[in-house]
Every structure is written in structure tokens, then in C-alpha cells.
Structure 1
Amino acid sequence: MKGGSCYKEAGLDACVANTKHPQWGNKASSSSPQILRFCSSRSLVCVVIFSGIVFFYMFTFTVSPFSCSNNPIIHSSDSEESSAIIRISTFNSSRSSMSSSSPPLPSHLPPPASPATMLRHIVFGIAASKNFWESRKEYIKIWWQPRKMRGFVWLDEPVNEPRSSASSLPIIKISANTSNFPYTHKHGSRSALRISRIVAETVRLNLADVRWFVMGDDDTVFIPDNLIRVLNKLDHRQPYYIGSQSESHLQNIIFSYAMAYGGGGFAISRPLAISLAQMQDRCIHRYPALYGSDDRIQACMAELGVPLTRHPGFHQFDVYGDLLGLLAAHPIAPLVTLHHLDLVDAIFPNSQSRAEAINRLFDGPVRLDSAGVMQQSICYDVKRHWTLSVSWGFVVQVVRGVMSPREMERPARTFLNWYRRADYKAYAFNTRPVARNPCQKPFLYYLSSSSFTNSSGMTVTRYSRYMEQPHPICRWKLPDPAVLVNEVVVFKKPDPALWNRAPRRNCCRVISSSKAGNKKAMTLEVGVCRDGEIAGAR
């Protein structure tokens, strides 16, 4: 065994010698049985150890929670969705078969796209009262289209409406009695209960082919085409509650920022309206202390779990005074409604009445290009250092000096707060003060006429200078718009697909500012911005 290994009792030199000079031949052959016995004994020990390790791991895996046989979560058949849980023991073996098989189809396929929403798919519910009917019905006549629209005016008491007038109005109905509903608000009116149930009462009429129920007041003016444009962005088969909040920050705090203000109008999709009709009477009983009808609607929406989808085109107009600042800097969104028109100044100050002012808007701009009504465009007369703001179909403002688009797109506070003793800046949006510097006070040119030219395919709107009050004296050495411009002419191509694209302001361009006889006119063009075109003074 000297040649097999070196033991502790053997000297180092002997071990080295045996390693360097192995003895082959008889001595080597005589020692092989001992080597075999030694190796076999060691192999037996290795086999025993290896077997123990294998047994240990098999036992551990058997009692493991990942074992398929003991896992209660994976007892369903492979056809069920729970088979998607990965079985660790069979992952490698099933990978190839999973890759070769096609994925399972979803159990609920999305419904196919439906045709576009039209006016015939909408039912209007208009809240009105006998006391104000004679004056308020004139607003309804402006926007109502008898042969294209469906809807009802819901009154508190019967009225005697002549047939000649009734043909240009929605069908008149009387609201159901609400005396059995509690109402405890000290400063409100029980009429809120009646008005809050108009949507539910309209649903119970069971009209066919209705997609949306639209609510408004008798002094709410709708732009029907723009309402359609907004509703076509939404799936009427889903529960939607769309409208807007108040302009008054304090109003929103007192009532709710999550509430669609009824005077500004709101729309409820058919499935949501049906759900509301089924539970609203019970819901109203739970909120006797609420003030109005729209907060009762919102309370029921909260119980249904449906939030308000806000759209800036619905206007409550909880303000007093002149709407110039709000309308001249309208949000980049279609104008859908106007409200509280009896409480604010006429939108065109040189009109005979508020209704006549709205008629001027509808007879021209709304008829010619409803998508572009009140949309602001900003440009500059570089030679004269003027800032120009065009609110198409409404007003053109000319300001001496260069004001940035960031300033011009903020509404000037030409109006007063709904709460007159409250913070005069407390609005739910950014505003800017009316210019105190007489040189920066805008020159106003209101819409005077509108037409369409077949040869060019463009609308032509004319805006005349408003000269009710003398303009303050300015000491700046800049050209005076009052001397150079009496009329602004704006050319614009109708763009009914404006809101099918991403929201963006139109651009305006100064074409000329020349003298035509005794009439000094500035000519502008408004349209889609060209590549690289911006609203900049340089």
C-alpha cells in the first residue's frame, strides 16, 4: 500500500520517492485487490449518502404547498379560467404545448360600434314654470327644431298655449305631484323635487330609440349640433352623466364640484337614466335637506356610483353683468349651452333684447359654422403693434401693444361674482383683471352681419365698432384703432370636423387694413393653423 497513498506515519521523502518512481510489474499487480476493496467500500458510502439526499428532496416536494395534488386552488378543470395558474411541476413539459395552441377567446367581446348619434336619438326634458313661461319660451323657440327634435316642457301648472306658438315648441306636460316627498331646506323651494324627477318621468314615457336624456331649464339655450358632437365622443351604452360645474367657486363649495348644474344643462345616457328612474323616489326621500334639483340628481348619482364627466362647453353662468370676458375667451371646446340670460347683459350690447341677441347668433354663425362659434383666435398686426383676438361669430378685440396668448386666453373680469360680497376673484378658473391703463383697454367690434360665399366656400362675418362710450385718451405713440378701423371683416372656411381632431385654437392672419371709401376696414382670415404657424408677434 506504500504506492497507493501517503499516511501520516510515512515520511515525506518516502512519499515523494514513491510518487516520482512508481513500481510497475508484480508489486503493482499484487496490491490491486486491496485497492478494489478500498474503492468499493467508499462507493457504498457515496451511494448511501446520495440515496438519502434524493429521498429527502422527494419527501420535501411531496409535502410542499406547491404540489398539484394538495393545492385546493387548482382543482378546477383545464377549461376553466383558473387553469391559467401555473403548475410548477408541469411548467416545463407544458410550455411547448401552450406555445403551439392558440390563446382562448375572451368570454365577453366588446359590443360592435353603433351608428353615430343624431338629434332623433336625444330626448330633451325642459324644466319650466307657469310664472315665467311667457318670457322664457322665446328662448326655447330660438334653438328648438320641431321636426328634428324630441322633447317635453315640464310645467308646474297648465298654460293656455296657442296652436300657432305650440307648433314651434316641445310638447307641454305637467309634472306629477310631489307632496309626499319631504323637503326641509329653509331657503329653498319645493319645486326642486318636481324638477329633479323630470328625467325619471321622461324615461317612463318609454320612447323608442333613445340614447340620451338631456336636461335643461326654460332659459337654457342649446347649440344642438355641438351637443351632438360632444355626445358622439361617448358610448351611450355605458352609464354617463355629463355636464359642468358653476363659474362661482363658492357655489361649488356650497353645493358640489361633482355636480352638473342643471341650468347649464346635462346629459344622462339611457342605461343610467333607467337605473335612476328605478331608484330615484327612494333616493329623494333620503335627502330632504338639499336645496335644489341638481344636487338631488348628484346625490342619486353618488349612490349609483357614477361620477360627473365634465365638459367646459356647458355654461351655468352664475355671474352678473357683461359676459364679454367669458365668451371672448371661450375654452377650446364646442359651445354647448348658455344659461341665466335674463340675469346678465345681452351678449350683443346694441341689440334690442336678450332674445334678439341670441337670434343674431343663431341666424348667422350657428347656422353657417356651429363648430366654430365663440372659438378664440389670437394674432398680431406687427406693423401697428396691435394684439387681435377674434371670438368667431361674436366679437373682435383690438388692443394696443403686444399681449401674450397666455394673457389673452384668460377671461377678463367684465362680469361680477354671483355672491357680490364674496371675493371678486373667486372663480373656478383663471381670470385676469380688466385693464386699468387706458392704452390697453380693448377696442370692441361686435358681430353685425354674416354670410356665405359659394364662389370661395367661405363664411364672411363683419364686426362693427362699438361706440357706446368714448374711449379713454392714450398717450402711447402707437396707431389708434379708433381712427384707422371702423369694421373688421373675417373670412373663415366652415369646419364641421373641427372637434374630430385634437383640440387646438384656430390661427388668424391679418390680410389687409385698407380704406374702402369712407369705411375703414381690417380684413382677417381664420382657419386651421399651418405647419409651424403659432400665435406670436414675431
Structure 2
Amino acid sequence: MRINPKDPAEILYPWTSTKITICFLLVISFTYISYSLKSVLPSNLCREQYSVTSHLQSEAPATPSQPISPPAPAPLEPQEPKTNLSHIVFGIAASANLWGNRKKYVKLWWRPDQMRGNVWMDQPVKVEPEDEHLLPPIKISSDTSKFAYTHRKGHRSAIRLSRIVTENFRQGMENARWFVMGDDDTVFVPENLVRVLQKYDHNQFYYIGSSSESHLQNIYFSHNMAYGGGGIAISYPLARALEKTQDKCIARYTGLYGSDDRLQACMAELGVPLTKEQGFHQFDVYGSVFGLLAAHPVAPLVSLHHLDVVDPIFPNMERVQALQRLNVPMKIDPAGLVQQSICYDKMRSWTVSVSWGYAVQIFRGIFSPREIEQPARTFINWYKKADFIGYEFNTRPVSRHPCQKPFVYYLTNAVYNKNTNHTATEYVRDQAPNPQCNWKMANPSRIDRVQVYKAYDPHIWDKSPRRNCCRILPSKKKKGTMAIEVGACNEDEVVELR
């Protein structure tokens, strides 16, 4: 049989293209399988573990048995001390014409050894030798004649007064946190001012104060304005920002009336709202402020303004003399000053309201706390034609019936017993006659004096605001005396009407 010879290409190139392709695929598959197997082989895992272990051992302590200690914590930065009087710079707005009389108010609260600040005058005044160490230094305000003032009824001194914080800032006082301004007829309660400012971060922008008692005043000026007489507190960084821009700001508001509305206009440009604190009192009222103090809001008493306008806070006394009497409980327990408590003598159907350190009231009948906590209208509005709806808060009439007019007892003495940590205050009945009453119930006129015992609690404002409770105590003394205990409410204690 004849066999045909092969094609010469097959003899020279025995691998065809098809075979080559198949072999190439087999090589790739084998390589992939080998790589996959190596990645899971125990020897490879051991090598990786050994590598990690070797790395850790190279950084471990020399003694393998010694446990590794965690890194030492970073040292804590020392905490800033709480705000105190030394951190506050006061600026008192005054005028040479009135300083001779009004400096008496400043002497009541100023503490030369603890406070710093200045009285800003429109012109020089004579400083009496006895006053030199009892009052703040007197400074003369910068000339403001370059600023325009176009309000028809105001006085251009408002421009000078609006710059008090800025001028105080430019004095360069060290370690200042707050700049507080007020008028020369304002009395501050320093400890309570500090308590209020401690609530806020002095490193932030804060503009703190309160509104007017007159609703119309707030409408005419602004509900967002702190009234300067009642006191304004401005944090250091905000005072710094104000100092940079205030003169340009004042030039833009030539038609405003006073100093505090000019200041608020600049605050609005800086975007800083008013932080309201109820203890700053503008006292835009006339007459007796008894109703306001006897039903003080649950907030520390910070300031009293317009003391030349309102009646003396205690009857039958001069203004300064009356404030000196209030100074006694103010020094003993400033946190509790004029704080209201409400309780009932249910056997005699009496309602009792205590304004600690100021006055006690006894009412015939049982009144709800909701009514008694409203100030009685013993005063009239700043706008004398305005009726009772012209106030910024709820008020009530002094009495709706002659028999319901309260019997009022004013503070006569206050003492503190450091051994028991309690205060004892005594209140004597006002001699102003009460109307005749034919009601067949016990007559409070038989009570000549009230004695109130209260635990000293300087931290009352570190807790959530709540009125103290009061309790009528069994009287162990002569018949004309009522004894009352005032203090923090016990658990589940409620002021119940019946």
C-alpha cells in the first residue's frame, strides 16, 4: 500500500494553531489554581502570622512577661475658676448735677476691695475726702459732639451714655469677663449678679438684661432691648466686637431717643439677641413697688432702678434708710432675698404670703397660688393714663373686697445662726388701718408680728427654679405672734388649697 507523504508544513511545524490555543489555556488554568492553593496553604498562613508577631515583638518591651501598659493620658488643662466679682467691670452712668444725691445709692452696694469699675460723668465733680475710698473712680466721658442727634424730645447725652461699655473696655482692665452698666440711681445685689452671670459662658457673645415693666415702653422702644437703668451685662468678646464698630453704628442711628436703644441697635447689627433675666428691674412705674417685691418672680433679685422715682420700699422711712434696712437680709442670705412662699392657716382660713427679708401678708380667705403669685397693683404705670393692661406681666387688684385687703408685716430684724445654719427674721404689722370687715372668721389684726425661720441655702439657684414652701408652726409664744418655717419643698409637698 502506498502511503502518501505528509504536508511539508506538518513536518516542519508539528503544533497546529488549535493545539497551541489549548495548551495556552491549560497553562493559565494551572497557574490560577496554583496561586489559589498557595493563598490558603497552612505554611503561608504561618508565614503571615510569623511576620505580624515578629513586628509586634520588635516593638514590645525587653521583658516579654511584663504586661504592656496603655499610653499615659494627656494632662488635663486647668479649669477656669467660676466667675466672681473680680471678673466684672462696672460702668455707672452719672451726671454732675445729680451725683451729690445719687452717690448715696452707689455707696449701698459698692465694695471697693472687691469690685472694679468707673463712674462716667459729663463733667468734673468735686470728690469729697470721705468718698474717695467708698466709691468707684470718676471718669469724664469722651467728647461726642461729632455725632449727630436728631430726636426731637430726647437729649444728646444718650450718645455719651451708650458708649460706657466701650469706654470701659478701652481702659484695658485685665482678667475682665463681663462689662456691667447701670445708672447712678440703681442698687445692685452683687452676689446675685454673679450667680446670674455664672450661668453663661463668658467666652461667647452675650447681651443680658431685662425689659420694662411698661408694655407701652417696650412697644415704643423694643421688646428685644435691655433697659440700661435696670442693668446690662455684656460678655468680654461681645464688648470687644462692640468697641470696634460702635462709633460707626451710632452714626447710623441719629434719630433714636436714648442710650439703651442705641446700644441695642448695635447689638442687632452684630446679630446678638437679648438674653432676658427677670431679676434686673427697670421699675418703670410710679408709687409703691410693694406689689412687685412681695410677689417677686422665681429668680434672684439682681437690681432695683428708679429709686428717686418710686416710693421708699419701707413705709415711713427715707429712701436710703429703707434700702439700708433691706441691706441686712441682703448680706445674710442674698440668694433668698424677697423670694415668695405661699402657705395656708387652714384652721383660721387664712392665706399667707412671705417675701423673705421684706414683708409678710395675711389674707382673709383661701386664695390660689396662681393668684397670689401675681403682683398686686400698688403702683401705677409709667404712662399714667394706661390702665392695668399696660403692664408686661399679669397683675391683680390689691383686693376685690374690703375684707380681702391683706394685713402687711414689714421686716424689722434679721439674724443668722451659724451653729444651726438658719436665719430668723421678724416682721411687724404696718399701722395703716384696714377696712372694717363683718365676716365671721378669725381676724388677722390679732397678729402683731410674724417670725420666719429659714435654712440658709446659697445653692438654691444651682437647681431648677422652684418657689420655697412655707409651713405655719405651732406658736409657743404669746398670742400675737405667728411662727412660719420657710425652706425647700419636701418630696411630694404641694401647696394645697384644702
TM-score tier by shorter-chain length is 0.7 to 0.9
Which of 465, 471, 477 lines up with 2:434 in the alignment? 471
Which amino acid in 1 is paired with 2:417?
T
Give the corresponding residue for 1:125.
Answer: 91
Partners of 1:203 and 1:170 in 2: CA distance: 16
Partners of 1:309 and 1:455 in 2: CA distance: 40
Which amino acid in 2 is paired with 1:290?
L
Give the corresponding residue for 1:293.
Answer: 259
1:355 aligns with 2:320: yes
Give 4+ residue runs of structure 1 displaced > 3 Å after superposition: none
Give the corresponding residue for 2:425.
Answer: 461
Which of 318, 342, 346 lines up with 2:284 in the alignment? 318
Partners of 2:343 and 2:78 in 1: CA distance: 44
Residues 386-406 of structure 1: CA deviation (Å, up to 9, x unaligned):
000000000000000000000
Which of 389, 392, 397 lines up with 1:428 in the alignment? 392
Give the corresponding residue for 2:462.
Answer: 500
Q: Is this contact kept in 1: 2:424–2:451, CA < 8 A?
A: yes
- How far did residue 120 of structure 1 move? 0.2
What is the TM-score with the length of structure 1 in the denominator? 0.77
Q: Is this contact kept in 2: 1:411–1:430, CA < 8 A?
A: yes
1:262 aligns with 2:228: yes
Which amino acid in 2 is paired with 1:511?
L
Q: Is this contact kept in 1: 2:388–2:395, CA < 8 A?
A: no
Q: Is this contact kept in 2: 1:514–1:522, CA < 8 A?
A: no
Residues 228-267 of structure 1: CA deviation (Å, up to 9, x unaligned):
0000000000000000000000000000000000000010
Which of 188, 198, 218 lines up with 1:222 in the alignment? 188
- How far did residue 114 of structure 1 move? 2.5
Partners of 1:219 and 1:461 in 2: CA distance: 28
Q: Is this contact kept in 1: 2:204–2:238, CA < 8 A?
A: yes
Matches within 5 A, 1:320-399: 320-351=286-317, 353-362=318-327, 364-399=328-363
Give the corresponding residue for 1:450.
Answer: 414
Q: Is this contact kept in 1: 2:90–2:118, CA < 8 A?
A: yes
Partners of 1:264 and 1:162 in 2: CA distance: 27
Q: What SS does structure 2 have at the residue aligned with 1:264?
A: coil
Q: What SS does structure 1 have at the residue aligned with 2:108?
A: helix
Residues 197-245 of structure 1: CA deviation (Å, up to 9, x unaligned):
1100000111100000001000111000000000000000000000000
Q: What SS does structure 2 have at the residue aligned with 1:152?
A: strand
Partners of 2:180 and 2:244 in 1: CA distance: 18
Partners of 1:373 and 1:536 in 2: CA distance: 24
Q: Is this contact kept in 2: 1:263–1:316, CA < 8 A?
A: yes
Partners of 2:377 and 2:79 in 1: CA distance: 44
1:232 aligns with 2:195: no
Which of 152, 171, 190 lines up with 2:137 in the alignment? 171
Matches within 5 A, 1:137-152: 137-152=103-118
Give aligned-pair identity as a percent.
60
1:526 aligns with 2:486: yes
1:415 aligns with 2:375: no
- How far did residue 164 of structure 1 move? 1.5
- How far did residue 323 of structure 1 move? 0.5
Give the corresponding residue for 2:127.
Answer: 161
Count the aligned residue pairs. 423
Partners of 2:346 and 2:419 in 1: CA distance: 30
Q: Is this contact kept in 2: 1:514–1:520, CA < 8 A?
A: no
Residues 488-526 of structure 1: CA deviation (Å, up to 9, x unaligned):
00001111000000000000010134552xx71100010
Residues 103-138 of structure 1: CA deviation (Å, up to 9, x unaligned):
xxxxxxxx9852200100000000000111011000
Which amino acid in 2 is paired with 1:502?
S
Q: What SS does structure 2 have at the residue aligned with 1:262?
A: coil
Partners of 1:311 and 1:113 in 2: CA distance: 26
Which of 464, 478, 482 lines up with 2:445 in the alignment? 482
Partners of 1:113 and 1:268 in 2: CA distance: 22
Give the corresponding residue for 2:150.
Answer: 184
Partners of 1:515 and 1:490 in 2: CA distance: 13
Partners of 2:128 and 2:180 in 1: CA distance: 26
Q: Is this contact kept in 1: 2:282–2:306, CA < 8 A?
A: yes
Partners of 1:398 and 1:528 in 2: CA distance: 21
Q: What SS does structure 1 have at the residue aligned with 2:333?
A: helix
- Aligned alpha-carbon RMSD (Å): 1.3
Alpha carbons of structure 1 residues 113 and 307: separation in structure 2 relative to 1, 3 Å: farther
- How far did residue 452 of structure 1 move? 1.2
Partners of 1:513 and 1:411 in 2: CA distance: 29
- How far did residue 534 of structure 1 move? 1.3
Partners of 1:297 and 1:446 in 2: CA distance: 39
Matches within 5 A, 1:63-102: none
Q: Is this contact kept in 2: 1:459–1:491, CA < 8 A?
A: yes
**Long gaps (5+) in structure 1:** 1-110
Residues 439-491 of structure 1: CA deviation (Å, up to 9, x unaligned):
10000000001111234221110000001x321111111110102x1000000
Which amino acid in 2 is paired with 1:320?
Y
**Long gaps (5+) in structure 2:** 1-76
Q: What SS does structure 1 have at the residue aligned with 2:224?
A: coil
Partners of 2:172 and 2:418 in 1: CA distance: 44
Q: Is this contact kept in 2: 1:245–1:310, CA < 8 A?
A: yes
